[in-house]
Amino acid sequence: MNAFHANYDRFPFVRVTDKDTDCFAGWKNIGDALQPAPAPYLTVVEMYPGCDVSAIESRLIPALKPDLILRSQDALLTPAELDEKFRQTLGDDPVFARMRPWELQDFFCPVKLGHLQGQLKILRGRVLVIGTGASLIAPQPDCLIYADLARWEIQKRYRAHQVGNLGANNAHASPAALYKRAFFLDWRAADRLKANLLPRMDYLLDTNVSEEPRMISGKHLRLGLQLASQQPFRVVPFFDPGPWGGQWMKQAFQLPEGTPNYAWCFDCVPEENSLLLGFGNRRVEIPALDLVLFCPRELLGDSIYHAFGAEFPIRFDYLDTMGGGNLSLQVHPLREYIREKFGMNYTQDESYYMLEAAEDGVVYLGLKENVDRPQMEKDLRLAQQDANAPFSAEKYVNAWPAKKHDHFLIPAGTIHCSGRNGVVLEISATPYIFTFKLWDWGRLGLDGHPRPIHLEHGLANIQWDRTTSWVRQHLIQQVSTVASAPEWREEKTGLHALEFIETRRHWFTGIVPHHTAGTVNVINLVEGKEAIVESPSGSFPPFTVHFGETFIVPAQVGAYTIRPASPSKQPLATMKAFVREAVG
């Protein structure tokens, strides 16, 4: 274990101002900043689903001193009505549903909503409208406060059964069921509304730590997002255990003890990660998706925004099996399949970049030659029915030796998984959660139950002609040098022609020139202690990145350079991903 691994920063932030006072910390300071205005005065507190409405309301009432409180939850459709309305969208699958353009207004009863709106027309005192959907009741308030919450914090509350889905009264449900409904319904609808509110919020209320909230003005929120879109930055990584998880990240990144393993690290998944904004010594945590929603063109570039909308299409995450087990044997849906079945326009093409590997590390990738397809399908089905008939993956699937810095390409439809004793930097497109498990090695999830298997979906997507010779020729170590100078070498390492993401590896001992070429770049320092990212024109301050850290370079940055932080005879290396020109 290299000593420099411990430099990994688990709490990166974007500095907005140097003044602590630009961030109101704690309920008292927040209350002092929100002293009641002379009546009539209308305050709206819009909330992201998952916020603790009653707790926030009880803290704000003494500060706002409202004469009347209108609660958005009183206008929601009943749980039964919501279940019926969304039944076709959600379906019966425990993991997957269909993407549909539901709006937050679809959760509300028009008659109840109209009744609350009618009350506003006759009131003249200080009025507080609060809850998820509050801004639908009062779209033109005197003061708009948005109570926000990170996706990861919401998931922790689901696991603790502290909250349920919007309007569903289902906090008792399994965390997986809560996540599925939020993923396909609550979060999609809330994000559509939030995108419209970001330009006019008066305050942003960070409610991730219930008793230690933070609040900033809408002006400072928008300034922070604009600054992030103009310079390299990192999102806040989060780590989670899994049934196959390993021990490498725990040691390398000095993660908290008390967890049996760390299987995943979401190191750059703006859909899931947070973004920290810095005000002096204080930090405000917001969903990184807020940046994508507010500055999509500046962040992504015009071509990506045109192809994907306000969605971040590149994903970097870690899969740690060092001292753990194999991932599930799996396949990702073909593009036409995910569009037809789930309403998504693109799929999870991906790759495994080996950040570390033991001598026995392997990657399962592609089928062996002359596989008996009917027999393989029969064996997979039998394995799901009979615990005493495990599926023999090695009989049908190639197990390729994997060593540090190997790069395995995995276009959708290719059967694959990472074996034990490896650390994978997964570089992929970001179609969220569409992974079809075929075989999970007969084990249980951390909850003591088998993890869902999607055999029919998987079998419908396996590309049976991707066998040993094809995989060797097209998917393994497709490395070629495309440019070089005395102090650096640029290599093309993938991805496959079927995938829309391109990757480039740079080995360097000096300054390497880069350019975003109008599209967002995502980069990880895969070799070396520390590097510095700089602007040739001084348009952003020097940015330091440590081994294993993923950072984002927004499209509008243009030219930038990367160099070792200190003179080095041993070359450092970065892996960069970007979207190819021809997408959509």
Per-residue pLDDT tens over the stretch 539-582: 999 999 999 999 999 999 999 999 999 998 999 999 999 998 64
- Which of the four pLDDT bands, split at 50, 70 and 90, describes residue 1? very low
Give me the pLDDT at residue 295, please: 98
Least confidently predicted of 37-41, 367-371, 382-386? 37-41
**How far apart are alpha carbons 355 and 249 in whole angstroms?**
11
Give me the pLDDT at residue 3, please: 42
Task: Say if residue 494's pLDDT is above 90.
Answer: no
Give me the pLDDT at residue 303, please: 93
Task: Say if residue 142's pLDDT is above 70.
Answer: yes
Read off the amino acid at residue 91. G
Task: Say if residue 324's pLDDT is above 80.
Answer: yes
Rounded average pLDDT over 190-202: 98
Give me the pLDDT at residue 387, please: 80
**Beta carbons within 10 angstroms of residue 39's beta carbon:** 14
Residue found under tokens 């998820």: 132
Read off the amino acid at residue 109. C
Express each pLDDT in 104-134 by its tens digit.
Answer: 999 999 999 999 999 988 877 999 999 999 9
**How far apart are alpha carbons 394 and 417 in whole angstroms?**
12
Give helix then strand counts, H and E, for the chain. Answer: 19, 31
Rounded average pLDDT over 213-233: 98
Mean pLDDT of the chain: 94
- Selected from 2.60.40, 3.30.420, 3.40.1350, 3.40.50, the CATH number assigned to the domain covering 3-228 reads 3.40.50
Domain 480-579 has CATH 2.60.120.10: yes
Task: Say if residue 318's pLDDT is above 90.
Answer: yes
Rounded average pLDDT over 182-195: 97
- Which of the four pLDDT bands, split at 50, 70 and 90, describes residue 583? very low
Residue 542 near residue 516 (C-beta atoms within 8 A) = no
Give me the pLDDT at residue 6, please: 63
Task: Say if residue 82's pLDDT is above 50.
Answer: yes
Least confidently predicted of 94-103, 341-350, 441-450? 341-350
Give me the pLDDT at residue 571, please: 97
558: exposed, middle or buried (Cβ count in 10 Å: 0-12, 13-18, 19+): middle
Q: Which of 509, 513, 501, 514 is nearest to 553 (CA)?
A: 514
Domain edges within the chain: 3-228, 264-269+272-474, 480-579
Give me the pLDDT at residue 225, please: 98
Give me the pLDDT at residue 347, please: 83
Residues 6+ apart with CB under 8 A from 79: 167, 168, 169, 170
Two domains, one topology: 3-228 and 264-269+272-474: no
Q: What is the DSSP letter of 184?
A: I
**How far apart are alpha carbons 301 and 554 in whole angstroms?**
8
**How far apart are alpha carbons 347 and 433 in whole angstroms?**
10
Give me the pLDDT at residue 584, please: 46
Of all residues in the chain, the percent with pLDDT exceeding 90 is: 89
> What is the model's pTM?
0.95
Structure-token pair, residue 305: 């925004």
Q: Which DSSP helix (H) or strand (E) runs through 396?
A: helix 393-396
**Per-residue CA distances from 103 to 71, 106, 191, 217, 466 (Å):** 19, 5, 9, 26, 41
Task: Say if residue 352's pLDDT is above 90.
Answer: yes
Task: Say if residue 4's pLDDT is above 60.
Answer: no
**How far apart are alpha carbons 537 and 269 in whole angstroms?**
29
**Beta carbons within 10 angstroms of residue 441's beta carbon:** 17
Domain 264-269+272-474 has CATH 2.60.120.10: yes
**Beta carbons within 10 angstroms of residue 110's beta carbon:** 10
Least confidently predicted of 92-101, 116-125, 217-226, 467-476? 116-125
Q: What does R_g of the chain's alpha carbons equal in angstroms?
A: 25
Rounded average pLDDT over 417-443: 91
Higher per-residue confidence, 417 vs 432? 417
Higher per-residue confidence, 9 vs 497? 9
